[in-house]
Amino acid sequence: MRRKMNTCGAWCCRLCWPFLLALVASAHSPQDDCPPANSSSTLLAVTAASEEGEGDEGAISGSISSPTELYTTAVVEEEYIVTFTGYYHSDAREGFISAALQCCSSGWKVLARSNPSQHYPSDFSLLHFPHQREVGTAVKALEAHPLVRRVTPQRKLTRALSLVAMADASSGGDAASAPPPCDGGGSGQSGCAQQASWETEGWRSRRPASRASFHDKSAGQYYYVGRRLLRAIPQQVTSLLAADVLWSMGHTGKGVKVAIFDTGLAHNHPHFKNVRDRTNWTDEKTLEDGLGHGTFVAGVIASSSECLGFAPDAELYIFRVFTNSQVSYTSWFLDAFNYAILKKINVLNLSIGGPDFLDQPFIEKVWELTANKVIMVSAIGNDGPLYGTLNNPADMMDVIGVGGINSDAELARFSSRGMTTWELPAGYGRVKPDIVTYGSGVRGSALGGGCRSLSGTSVASPVVAGVVALLVGAASQSHSHVNPASVKQALIASSERLPNANMFEQGHGRLDLLRAHERLNDYTPHASLSPSYIDLTECPYFWPYCTQEMYYGAVPVIVNVTILNGMGVMGRVVNKPTWHPYLQMNGLNLEVSLTHSPVLWPWSGYLAVSLSVASSARSFRGKASGHISITISSVASGSEKPSVYDVTLPVSVSIIPTPLRSQRLLWDQFHNLRYPAGYFPRDNLRMKTDPLDWNGDHIHTNFRDMYSSLRASGYYIEVLGTPFTCFDASQYGALLLVDSEEEYFPEEISKLQRDVNEQGLSLVVFADWYNVEVMKKIKFYDENTRQWWMPDTGGANVPALNDLLGPWGIALSEEVLDGDFSLAEHEVHYASGTGIARFPSDGLLVAKDLHDQGAEVVGGSSTKDSVPILGLYNTPSPDGGRIVVYGDSNCLDSAHMQKDCFWLLDVLLKYAVSGPSQYPFSSVKRYRPPPPTLPSRIEGNRLHHYSRVLDRENPPSIRPIPSCPRLVWAMPRPLNYSHSLLPSSSHTGRVLNSNPQEPPNGRGGGGGALNPDHTIPRSR
């Protein structure tokens, strides 16, 4: 029987749940600007971490490998999840729904859920609406009910484990048990694409065709051939992490309940001696693992034979949440999560993930799990080495996100990189992964017995889950301070830095099991920070911050710090955080603004640090240091007296005199949109295996290489996360508009016109394709749910760009162009770019012979013609700037770059901001095009649902332009310190001790290094 919760303590209170959700939902980030998470139109994809398969003896000659385990999700037609504010029996939930829908809907029914939790109270119901025309009204009526929290679409999750089948086939394993990813059928076959057509040839969700291991033209489906197999680890992974040391001490995970959410576990498998529960949450009437993936994961965690797991005596709770057809549903996960709470699970491994951080029911259930002391471990993703590719839920603050390293303890190429992208466009991402560990060639249990090897972060995740189970089993024998925060604190404080990787690649470093055991056994409840200090001079760890000095007048630098609260599930920040500049270390040259979570729940929150150079330091060159003090209060489980901790965050930055205007570039982040929430397609139409644009379009994610090139050329790049009305154009040489999908406020268009014509600002635009017929042709079709998804924009929002460029007589066309050409002795690849339709007569146009890719997509045939693609224009005003327009941004975007055009960007910037008045391509013949038809906005698009410009309730009306943000600078409280409190080993790769200790005397100039958590216990 479910334990009834009556008070808000360390365990989640059912009565307090709505209040906590309301607080936390608004507290992810200081600059959150996410679209509504409960929009039924959102294209969602919760995707899995990836793997590489190997045979038992390692790589087999001639075999095809796959670096990715494939997942695709889509909204299920006519089914909706109704989430309630509490837990109720089924008859009560149905009564609430009936009362809410009396006025406006008929024919609905509550779908029965036949699974082990069906007789227990639940916080959601699955509702079927047969009349789609009534859905909008019905949803509003349901959400108006006082006991209904929200209504969201049901989602179907399809997984392809093709790498398992191929690896086993090559090694004589259980290939027959794993179905192929496509059965060769045509339209309507689950998981398959239609024969060679632009409509469905790989255009499904991001994961279904992402870097798969097949190249099967006969099935009409095109996949990348995977990378070569990574070298297998020559030893057991348990030996590499010295698990035998803890085994010899009698610690084997006994008494620890470990949940594995996967494909099930083979019955009576010889490797497992303590399987306490096997449950099936699918619509198949079996508990068996028909694929072998769940068996492998369970083996890494708890195998007691051959390929040993870390915690062989742990109690295994097997949750079969995927069918043999590799399908799951959101509702299955929610029911299974509820059951895990009921069973008082200690550790939960989730080797899946995806780019969708707006799947609100899933996210809230993860919060509830961790609030109930479930330590969740999840794979960070296998989309490396590209940045901005973190998977959810591993990117959540209360989850341990795991990246991968190879057998040489080097960062695995496949491991996804940070930063988190929840906070974009106005803010900046957090540090993830939390830690990294072995994920290449790890050996685990095979389906029919024996061992096999796989690679990927979905392999690294159960390595950490097994370690956590072992640590919890050992620690629980000595004290009870084990919770999701304390375990994460112990793992990150004991980790070993990788010497040549930054914090968005490795998090806090490589897992060290023995040191983590010491930390957790000696643990005293406290609060800590991640990262534990801010040193913007330390490279490479603090990349990208360390690559560009600060200076007066720049857009403030944002560092989002995670607060970990090991004292209790719920806490708060007492009073205001304070900024202490060091007088002897130029600390007064730095201004600091601080915002934080209104509540720390569950176990965590954020501290947003905005840094700016004081006006008195506009000519200063040197370092500035100080520290931030923040006080955390929390009530531990079973205690009535709050614990209070002072946490110190050392800060050090490098300051230079303000660079010349011609060196300063402004990157427009405000007008970049990406998945989630809507269907924003990739810019390169040839990349049919990767249709979604989801990397954030930030200079430190998929434009990272471009950023590095610009810095090498001497430019300073600042990021604008606000409308154009919020920056001083006189301070910048050029504004960069690259791959913009958002609309523009009328005030922005007017202001930019004045900035260029009167303030001398130059405008550099790199656009992409936009063609309505092409958008209709590449619409997303999910064969499972029989639904079409139309792109909300093209590669770029060309109609909006034309509105912006219109005052100068410049317009981009609806052409979609593709091809290779030479320019200034460089070979250039043009990938699904657009052409220039209109341009001032006294400007320069460069035309090239390119294929009409749009005609190929729409009609199947392509012609080649000379089309203008590059335009350069000197505005007539003597004080005016210059305008550069290029029709393709793919050569700047690392996501699918075939040939970079950084050299071209450098040439164009020199012309725009500092070069002579003559055009850089004077030898190129001027070309005057006929005026092609300009692209119009696609009818019926849902851009207004995700736009920060369009009125959501009354499209295509424009919202009132938001006011410009004004930071409140913290009142400095100077200290006469002569030494920084940065950890003395910050450059050596080993993190310092995190045990609480007293700080040096703040009045004396004393110094010394605090531990990286810088925690100071107090009683109150």
Q: Which residues are catalytic?
A: 262, 293, 458
1002 burial via Cβ count (<10 Å: 0-12, 13-18, 19+):
middle
Please give the DSSP secondary-structure letter assigned to residue 162.
Answer: H
E strands along 371-488, which residues? 375-379, 400-405, 435-438, 442-445, 451-455
Q: What are phi and psi of 921, to 5 degrees?
A: -115, 55
Give the SS3 label for residue 906. Answer: helix
Amino acid, single-letter form, for residue 533: Y
The partner residues of 261 in beta bridges, in order of sequence, read 319
Q: Which helix (H) or strand (E) holds 109?
A: strand 109-110
| Residue among 468, 271, 511 at smallest CA distance from 375 | 468
Rounded (10°) CA dihedral 405, 296, 212, 283: -140
| Residue among 302, 317, 321 at smallest CA distance from 263 | 321
Cα angle 73, 79, 80 (rounded to 5 degrees) comes to: 90
- Do the bridges between strand 643-655 and strand 534-535 make them parallel or antiparallel, or are there none, so unpaired? parallel
Please give the DSSP secondary-structure letter assigned to residue 487.
Answer: H
d(C-alpha 856, C-alpha 784), whole Å:
28
d(C-alpha 436, C-alpha 508), whole Å:
8
d(C-alpha 836, C-alpha 248), whole Å:
72
* Contact (Cβ atoms closer than 8 angstroms) between residue 118 and residue 134: no
C-alpha atoms less than 13 angstroms from C-alpha of 766 in its C-beta half-sphere:
27
| Residue among 848, 815, 799 at smallest CA distance from 931 | 815
| Residue among 900, 903, 882, 883 at smallest CA distance from 891 | 900
* Contact (Cβ atoms closer than 8 angstroms) between residue 200 and residue 781: yes
Residues 6+ apart with CB under 8 A from 823: 846, 848, 904, 921, 924
d(C-alpha 302, C-alpha 304), whole Å:
6
d(C-alpha 630, C-alpha 850), whole Å:
59
3-state secondary structure 302-348: HCCCCCCCCCCCCEEEEEECCCCCCEEEHHHHHHHHHHHHHCCCCEE
